[in-house]
Structure 1
Amino acid sequence: MSEPSAPREREASETLVALRAASYAYEEGPTVLSGLDFDVTEGRALALLGRNGSGKTTLMRLLSGGLRPDQGGLTLGGTPVTYDRKGLTRLRTTVQLVVQDPDDQLFAASVEQDVSFGPLNLGLSDAEVRARVAEALAALDISALADRPTHLLSYGQRKRTAIAGAVAMRPRVLILDEPTAGLDPDGQERLLDTLQGLRDAGTTVVMATHDVDLALRWADDAALLTPSGVRTGPVAQMLAHRDLLAQAGLRLPWGIAVSELLRTKGLLDVAGEGPRTPEELAALTAPAMPGASAG
């Protein structure tokens, strides 16, 4: 991985939201997470990976205030979160969760009405609500759908509308549960471009996914949820640990496997950054253009 710029390093020093010694068990069920310390760091795109039932959804709901730890606690900017109306409003203006199925999140008659719901509940002026809705629709490239009934949207459009509703709250942390699931390749690329735009504008994005290739390509850091706990670190390092991947029920990413092959063939330096996509591999291995000068 290339080194981040100096501004990103300064941003990345701040922990926005964190769980401390947090445990959670569903009623009459086993403990899902136990004694967990987990940080979401500003400026770092984080991928959550693990097998079904590993606790990804529980972790996301704990971070966003949808669940309350049985033990331990949640902090926001270093301050413990309280679960009264004031504390939860403070949390949800900073952290927003978008669930996997947009139909579980959309309920208003039109796109504009749905996206405006959160800002209206903050008690903002009509002018401020309109500004936030317009900003969110533009960020998700669905301004033309503002008046469209939500039941007439395609699946990809419903995904974007659900994310726009979260973006309209202007959170510092956006948590997405399998945002690319169900999208065709073009829809996935468009959504990833949108998420990059949100990151560039200062939003920290956390994404739960089963797609190790997507995680390697997109994330700065990866958190692997295993039976022995959560392990977090730089994405290329974490996704090269075969034992951890096996514990998490994941396969080796394509880019890691290709990089290992290139190194054994002497085509990539030991410390060199390997390709993360087929396009990067093609660019790395392409011969010099005929007639190109060395100067």
Structure 2
Amino acid sequence: MNQRQPAAATPVVELVDACFAYEDGPPVLSGVGFALPEGRATALLGRNGSGKTTLLRLLSGGLRCSSGRLRLGGETVAHDRAGLTRLRTAVQLVVQDPDDQLFAASVAQDVSFGPMNLGLSEAEVRERVEEALTALDIAALRDRPTHLLSYGQRKRAAIAGAVAMRPRVLILDEPTAGLDPHGQERLLKVLARLREAGATVVMATHDVDLALRWADDAAVLTPQGLRTGPAAELLADRELLAAARLRRPWGAAAAEVLRAHGLLPDGAPGPRTPEELEALASPAV
């Protein structure tokens, strides 16, 4: 007797056969399908000019597909006021440069802007602002003028403004760009807390090591289109990485060496951090 397989969960947000070209320009994306499952972390990778930022703006409603569809919870998003309001309460985009996003006099004022535009009560707005500031570890900066923040603080303040909307999907365009290693670690801890709270996160990045370490899934843009799948699988595909002009992650190279020396069984996950590599390479005591 055949058993029926469980139906795949509906993606939170999804592009279906999406095409886009800027005015008087060649196609940037053609026939792209990209689905974000609930609660997953996805790294979007590709060379400069491959269309990563365009893809993120299509997902968040900042751009409209030339053809194809954008779906939210399985329903096509209408690009009218009601449709875009529905989308933007569920999907929030944080752009690469925080100075393109921050505009209010203080951090708290900036973070409160989105919730206030939802027509929430003053008490609800205050609650969301405090929640977002705490989540991003910048509660002590609530009254600080945004122009006096460090670059890393401005990055976190911009993300806090998106988090205050309590989106189902948080989209980050190169969030670690310009951060020193300590700043990157602090940001990754913040993202880990957001994921534990149930957020679906997609991050565009050039950093293949970061993608392998952080992401459940990867989406790689090449001139031939978009390929998606488990991050460890895609980021070990030499041909795919070459087509995308990306180097191999050190973790994938280390896993190959470990398997050749019998230190890692076939099919076992490779190291994603130096600590994992040290544990795999050290003989058991």
TM-score where L is the length of structure 2: 0.96
Whole-Å separation in 2 of the counterparts to 1:256 and 1:37: 26
1:223 equivalent among 205, 215, 219: 219
In the alignment, the residues of structure 2 paired with residue 37 and residue 211 of structure 1 have an alpha-carbon distance, to the nearest angstrom, of 23
**Mapped contact 2:168–2:200 kept (Cα < 8 A):** yes
User: What is the aligned counterpart of 1:262 among 258, 262, 281?
Assistant: 258
* CA-CA distance at 1:43 after TM superposition: 1.4
User: Which letter does structure 2 place at the counterpart of 1:281?
Assistant: L
Query: Which residue is equivalent to 2:59?
Result: 63
Mapped pair 1:139 → 2:129: no
Distance 1:213 1:30 in 2: 31
- Aligned pair count reads 279
The counterpart of 2:116, out of the listed 117, 120, 131, is: 120
Take 1:160 and 1:169, find their aligned partners in 2: how far apart are those partners?
Answer: 15
Give the C-alpha shift of residue 139 in structure 1: 0.3
State the Cα deviation string for residues 211-243 of structure 1 (Å, max 9, x = none): 000000000000000000000000010001111
Equivalence map 1:165-176=2 (5 Å):
165-176=161-172
Coordinate RMSD, CA, aligned: 1.1
Q: Is 1:232 aligned to residue 228 of structure 2?
A: yes
SS of residue paired to 2:12 = strand
Q: CA deviation at 1:179?
A: 0.6
In the alignment, what sits opposite 1:29?
A: 25
Partners of 2:96 and 2:79 in 1: how far apart? 24
What per-residue deviation string (whole Å, max 9, x for no partner) do you get for residues 29-65 of structure 1? 1100111111111111000000000000000000000
Give, in whole Å, the separation in 1 of the partners of 2:10 and 2:188: 24
Distance 1:122 1:271 in 2: 48
1:59 alignment partner, SS class:
helix
Question: 1:271 offset after TM fit, Å?
Answer: 1.6
Listed as ranges, the gaps of 5+ residues in structure 2 are 1-5
Distance across 2 between alignment mates of 1:249 and 1:100: 21
* Percent identical: 74
Q: Distance in 2 between matches of 1:30 and 1:120?
A: 39
The alignment partner of 1:141 has SS state of coil
Which whole-Å CA distance do the structure 2 matches of 1:87 and 1:18 have between them?
Answer: 15
Q: Which amino acid aligns with 1:162?
A: A
Q: C-alpha separation between the residues in 2 aligned to 1:271 and 1:20?
A: 32
Q: Secondary structure at the match of 1:15?
A: coil
Read off the aligned partner of 2:48 and give its amino acid letter: N
Cα deviation for residue 288 of structure 1 reads: 4.1
Letter in 1 for 2:10: E
Provide the rounded CA distance (Å) in 2 between the counterparts of 1:121 and 1:85: 13
State whether residues 21 and 66 of structure 2, in contact with CA within 8 Å, keep that contact through their aligned partners in structure 1: yes
Q: Is it true that 1:274 corresponds to 2:270 in the alignment?
A: yes
1:1-295 to 2 correspondence within 5 Å?
A: 13-289=9-285
The Cα of 1:278 is off from its aligned counterpart by 1.2
Rounded Cα–Cα distance in structure 1 between residues aligned with 2:67 and 2:267: 42
Superposed displacement of residue 22, structure 1? 1.1
Distance of 1:14 and 1:138 partners within structure 2: 31
TM-score (norm 1): 0.93
The separation in 2 between residues aligned to 1:71 and 1:272, in whole angstroms, is: 41
2:36 partner letter: V
Give the letter for the 1:126 counterpart: E
